[in-house]
Each structure stands twice: as structure tokens, then as C-alpha cells.
Structure 1
Amino acid sequence: MFQETIKDFNINFNALNENNSISQGDLMTGHISFVLTKATKIDSIAMALTGRANVHWSTGGGGSRKRRRSRTHYSAKLDFFKFKSVIVHSNNAVGGMQLQPGRHVYPFTCQLPHGDFPSTFRGVNGHILYSLTVSIHRCWRMAKDFVTELNFVNHIDTNLPELQAPLSGSNTMSLCCMWCSSGPITMTASIVKKAFVPGETVNIVCEFSNASSQTTTPKVTLQQKQVFYTNNKVNKKMVSKNLASVTGRPVEAHASRVHAGIALAIPAAAPLTISNCSIIEVDYIIKVSLSTRLSANLTVLFPIVLCDAPVSAQPPLYL
């Protein structure tokens, strides 16, 4: 069998950056290598560069076979591009070319297309994948495929003012008990910019006033929202996940103007924000909350963007 004839197949890339990622318009270079255990005739060695998105989820159904048959399934596919090229081609019209036993190495070059393509992503109900497939074709035989996944990154323009601008918000509430209400609980929070990179630490500056008779506890949470759509966004499935959280020091009862800084580390493996795909969206929110017993939390929400390059905060308007 051909699986026993070809050994140690590798697809090697010349890294373009320290993250070994690629982006639109990049020129990829590298080589393939493999070992043949015996002389083999081949017609050609070809490669295909693809980018696509898929989503799938189901609703209804349950334990029994009859109920499982009643499930409704939703799915969608989206192809960004597919390009094919030939690495090696036989000049012999009949029978192909003969490769001798031993190691074989062939260089390749491929150009990624220009376009606004989303970053690589694997989610609960869908994924965005980019891959390079190398196929060895033999006369009257099925081609043998070797596939490697690529880490594609969509570069966001980090010079956009809205990504560099600080965000702030405030909220207030009063606790009610029977016919009386407490003094107000007030929270003001701010962050220095809107865009961050995975692995970066977000410093949240807070001011709390607690005129109630209860102790309150601040907490900061990084929430990820994944939304999956069918074509034309007729149906959708949303999944929310908490990726990180930090609890601050309690704010005592009857405390006024308590200042606190809370540092939240964004996980280094967090996927980048995706807003340029019609069937998959990935968004992030930093949620700052004050919790009290027997009452809903007081919250301030900051929508943020995760991108691949560091973003500088806007300088203050005055020195």
C-alpha cells in the first residue's frame, strides 16, 4: 500500500513572524519532504490553499431515539478562497515519472489572496479554518492527501481612534427592604483603551461609594460571546463564556469614595475578535460588578476588541 511506501511526510514553512501566523496577501515559502521505501511512479504533486467557515447546531430532541429524530439541525458553510498549484509535474504523458527510494525535497511558493478574511477560530458550534493540502497523484490511483492547518490572523488597523480612546461608565442603585430603602451604592469604572492583545493585562480604575448597611464586593470578569448564524442570518445560536475573573477587596458599609485598581489578565490563548464573517461572530465584554446579598449586582460593561498587535492608549488632552 502507498501508506507503507511513503514515510516521514512533512510540510515545512519559512516563518514570517514569531507567532508563525499568516495574513492576507502574504507570500508563503517552504518545502515538502518525504521518504520513499521503494521506487514509485507519480503523475504530479499538487497543493491547495483553502479558507472556509462552518457552523452547526441542533435544537430539540433528547434521550430516546424517537425524540432524537425530532431534532432540528442548523448549518451553514462559507468558502473564502481555494487556490491550487502544482509543485511537481511529470513530463511523461504515460505512466508518470519514476521516483527512486530515499528522501525527496521539493520547494514551494504560494501567495495568499488579498481580502478581508476573519482570523482562525474554533468554537462551540463552528470554526474558521485555513489549510494547505499537498496531494500526491498517481496514474489510476486515488490521490494521497497531506493536510496542515494554518494560523491565519486578520490584522486590525490599530491606529483607529476608537480603539485607542479610554472607556468609562458609572451606575448606581439603592437597596430596598420592606418599606425602607438604603442610601445609594455608586460605582464608577474606567479603562485606558478599547483594544488589547491576548496575554495583556487590563487595569480597571474604580471608585465606589457604599451608603448602604451592607458590605459589597467588586468583581471584574472577561466574557466572550460566540454567535453562529445560518445563511442570511435567518437563525442563530449564541454561546457566552467567562474566560477570566478577578475579585477585589470588599467595600464596607457606609464607605465613601473608595478608590481601587483591579488588574485583569486576558488569557494568552483567547481567540481574536471576529466581526467580518457573516456566519460567525466573536465579541468580548469586560464586566465590572458590585455584588450584595439579596440584591441584583450593580454592573458596568465595557465592550473591548482583541487584536493581534498592541494598541497604544490616546495621550491625555492635557499634561
Structure 2
Amino acid sequence: MSGTIQDLSVNYDPVNENNTFTCGDVINGRVILEVTKEVKIDSLYIKCKGDANVRWTERRNDDTHVYSAHERYFKLKQVFIQDPSKKGKKDPGTIITTGETYSNVVRPGNHVFPFSFQLPHGNMPASFSAYYGSVKYLLEVRLDRSWKMDRTAIKEITFVPLINNVGPNLMMPQSGATDKKMKLFTSGSASIRASTEKMGYMQGEVIKVYTDIDNSSSRNLKMKYSLEEKQTFSAEGHHKYGSKIIFKEVGDPIPSGSKQTVTTQVTIPSDVDLTIINCGIIKVEYVLKVYLDVPYAKDPTIHFPVVILPAGLFLAPLQSQPGFQPYGNPDASGWSNVPPQPALGPGPSGAAYGPAPGLYPNIQPSPMHPQPANPEAPPPSYHDIYSNPNPPVPGYNPAPSAPTFNPPQYPFMGYPNPTLPHPAPSAPEFCPNPPAPGYGPPGGEPGYWPSPTNVINQPEPYPTKTPEKQE
């Protein structure tokens, strides 16, 4: 910056080695203001807020249509300076927190304004950023002066959901089978049967896939495994889709006329996005594909839904579940019986991806996935799977759960005003050498919309249909 306001920045103190925050955590930090001469300020404040935004454009004929949507999860505000002669603008839905206030006449030099926010408890999605939408949790500082442009400073924080108990549905094993009769350049048939230990996995965890292959075809065939991320963005009744392959593994050839049992281990990247199903306008889902690579023909494929959870949990598979056979037996009865697979392929505009067993009513009955007592009951929310027992930090009043998004109105939570955990100075501290920023995510001050260079470099497998073509 140049002129009277030499510097305006915000720093915060990490609470863990991963530099992430969750429900109930307290964010302590400082706003740094450097001025070259005495200046009169109308207002200086900081906001802590969580929002989801979606935006894209479509061109049909000669018209360009812009679709956008927004969800707000919370907005907290702490005021440092407020000129009593000037009335501040009303900020609906904002919870004003208590803190030290200062004179609106600021002397030359460096000044430090401490702040403290406690993140509310609630069913809030994880931080996420993509070309068409994002879930952002921000610290935003604003400085207002009469007849001058407003100055702002923004720092993004990384939010992960609070998870204490993982529902048993995520820990139950999954299994599936399929077969294919060869035509044209290949004769015979091939069958595969696969199983995994569970559905919920942490970032960086290993997925073990147990596969039985019966290659009765005239060709040598290869087993392949891939994890695909599927993104859905919704706005104004329309949808935009994207996908990308997280990893792909290729197994050894299966000779013609042979049967094999294969155990494959694939590792989930530690920086992969978390699953998001508790946001009304953005969904991030994953599917593990186990398939035989058949030349010149459609590959027989088994789809397993995968839920990506934050790293640091202990997730033990339910090995005691009846009927779970890590290593299948191709000679056992029922090997040729192919159970139906979830419909995870392309669908019409607005169609959801295949439901995950246990999270939604099961469409694949089996001894390992019994049908729920009430198939018509609505699916559970993340709050049912991820409980939020984290108590507030001492010195803060208990906080109610975050509001449930209910468009078009946004109910705001009555989050109580916390007090600072340490006494604030009676005036800004003169600090010739303020602490340098460095705890925020790399890449400079984040924007709401990533650069187009971050767009997924793959064709969208689920093109958006125009309203005239929707059935």
C-alpha cells in the first residue's frame, strides 16, 4: 500500500500442526495497521465468516446466462474503531463479539489490534475450492475513511468438520460382482468379484481391494483400479458437473483360461478434497472403480462409493460383519450371480450420483447391507455421522448448533458474544516490528474464485442440459 495507510494486514495463530480449524476452535490473531501520519478513521473492524458460492455462465443461441448461488454458515464481527458521529451500516445476521475499542484518531507508526473468535458448532462443510464454486472461511479486515477508498485485507483459514464418532455404515464392508460375454474380437466370458473393507477412509489411508477374477475368454486381461472425484454445482434449478481422476492403478495380466485371487492396495493422496454432502449448492463425492480392461469392448466395472474423511482418525473396519469374505472363491456357489450395481453412470441434468450404501436407502440388498427399517426415511446428515461434542473453550458461553440452510431465507444463529481469553490493551500497542504474516495458506491473499488455470482439464462427463431438453 502507499499513501497514509502504509500497511493493513491480518495474522492468526495456528492451533495444530496442520494449520486447520474445526467447530469450537478459537482463532486468536492480530490486525496490523501502519500509518505514515496521523489519520482519522471512520471504522476499522474484522469479520470471520463462512460461505459457499457457486457461479458459472452458459451461452445458448445469442444469450448468455449467469447462474449463481450462495449459502452462509456464520458471520462474526469485532469492531476496533467506530466514529461515534457516524452511524455504521446495519449488517443483518452478523454476531458482534466483544473486544477492546480505540480512538478513531490514529498516531503515526505501527499499531496492533488483537482479536479473538470462537468458531460456532454446526453442520458446516469442509473448505473447498474449484473453478465453478467454493466453500471459504475467511478473516476479512476493513478500514473506512471519509472520501477515501475502503481498504481491506483477507486471510483464508482451512476448516475441517469435527468428527468424533464415524457411523457404522461407513465402516461396513462392500462387495460387488459383474461378468461379461465377449463378442467380436474376443470369445468366451470373464467374471470379477470384488470387496473392500469399508466405505469411509481418511486422507492418506490405504484402500485394500480383494478381487477374484475368472478369465474364461480368449485373451489375457488386466485388472485396473481408479478413484474418481465427482463435483456437482447447483444454482437456480440448474447444475454444472465436473470430474477428475485422483489415481489409476494397473494390475498384472490375468492369463486366458485362468482364475486368480488378487489383493491390491491403493493409497488415497493426503491432500485430496474431503467429501462434501452437507452443502446445498456444492457436492464432492468419490467412486472407486474396479474393472477389467477388455480390448475393443466395454469394460465390466464395479463401482464402490468412497467417503473421504479428515486425516487423524482411527477407523477400524467391521471385520466381524457376517458374510464378509476378503478373498472370494470363484468356485463357490453364487459366483455367477451378479448383484445389481448402483447407477453411477451419466444421467440427465440434475440427476444425483449413485447413492452410497448406508448413507441413503440401499439399492443393493445383501447380507452385508441390510435394508433400513424405514426405506422411505430421509438420508442422515453429516451431523448424524459426525457428532460435534467438542466443548467450548473455557471462558466462553455454550454455543448452539449452526443454522440449517433453508433457501430463500437464512436463519441466523444466536451465537453468544465471547470474551477475550486475555485482557486487551487499553490502546493500540506501538510495535516497530510487527509479526510478519506467514500462517495463512500459500499463494497470497485468496480470492473467491480460483484462476481459470485451476479448471479441471477433462471433458465434463455430465453435460448440463437446457430446460427445453429436460424430461
Q: Which TM-score applies when normalising by structure 1? A: 0.86
Query: Per the alignment, do residues 295 and 129 of structure 1 end up closer, same or farther by CA in structure 2, a change over 3 Å counting?
Result: same
The structure 2 residue matched to 1:193, chosen from 161, 175, 198, is 198
Letter matched to residue 269 of structure 1:
D
Query: Per the alignment, do residues 177 and 306 of structure 1 end up closer, same or farther by CA in structure 2, a change over 3 Å counting?
Result: same
Q: How many residues align?
A: 304
* Equivalence for 2:365: none
Contact 2:41-2:83 within 8 A present in 1 as well: yes
Q: Give 1:156 deviation, angstroms.
A: 4.0
Matches within 5 A, 1:90-239: 97-177=104-184, 182=188, 184-231=189-236, 234-239=237-242
Root mean square deviation of aligned Cα: 2.4
Letter matched to residue 70 of structure 1:
D
- 3-state SS, counterpart of residue 155 of structure 1: coil
CA distance in 1, matches of 2:7, 2:252: 56
- 3-state SS, counterpart of residue 240 of structure 2: strand
Q: Give 1:293 deviation, angstroms.
A: 1.4
Contact 2:69-2:281 within 8 A present in 1 as well: yes
Matches within 5 A, 1:251-290: 251-256=254-259, 258-290=260-292
- 3-state SS, counterpart of residue 119 of structure 1: coil
Q: Sequence identity, in percent?
A: 32
Contact 1:120-1:152 within 8 A present in 2 as well: yes
* Equivalence for 1:246: 249
* Equivalence for 2:38: 39
The gaps in structure 1 that reach 5 residues or longer are: 62-66
Q: Give 1:224 deviation, angstroms.
A: 0.6
Contact 1:163-1:311 within 8 A present in 2 as well: no
CA distance in 1, matches of 2:106, 2:54: 42
Q: Give 1:170 deviation, angstroms.
A: 1.6
* Equivalence for 1:64: none
| Per-residue Cα deviation, 1:264-315 (whole angstroms, up to 9, x for no partner) | 2222221111101111111000101101112210111110111114341234
1:76 and 2:89 matched: no
* Equivalence for 2:384: none
Letter matched to residue 220 of structure 2:
T
CA distance in 1, matches of 2:48, 2:221: 55
Matches within 5 A, 1:8-47: 8-47=7-46
Contact 1:196-1:311 within 8 A present in 2 as well: no
Query: Per the alignment, do residues 223 and 158 of structure 1 end up closer, same or farther by CA in structure 2, a change over 3 Å counting?
Result: farther
Contact 2:214-2:258 within 8 A present in 1 as well: yes
Contact 2:201-2:308 within 8 A present in 1 as well: yes
Letter matched to residue 194 of structure 1:
M
Q: Which has the higher contact order (CA 8 A, sep 6+)?
A: 2
| Per-residue Cα deviation, 1:208-254 (whole angstroms, up to 9, x for no partner) | 110111111111111011011114xx221221211111111111101
CA distance in 1, matches of 2:239, 2:58: 11
Q: Give 1:317 deviation, angstroms.
A: 2.0
Query: Per the alignment, do residues 59 and 44 of structure 1 end up closer, same or farther by CA in structure 2, a change over 3 Å counting?
Result: closer
The gaps in structure 2 that reach 5 residues or longer are: 87-102, 322-471
CA distance in 1, matches of 2:147, 2:227: 55
| Per-residue Cα deviation, 1:22-44 (whole angstroms, up to 9, x for no partner) | 22332211112233233323244
Q: Give 1:263 deviation, angstroms.
A: 2.3
Q: Give 1:91 deviation, angstroms.
A: 7.5
Letter matched to residue 15 of structure 2:
L
Task: Choose between structure 1 and 2: higher strand proportion.
Answer: 1
Q: Give 1:127 deviation, angstroms.
A: 1.2
Letter matched to residue 154 of structure 2:
V
Contact 1:246-1:262 within 8 A present in 2 as well: no
Q: Which TM-score applies when normalising by structure 2? A: 0.60
CA distance in 2, matches of 1:50, 1:73: 25
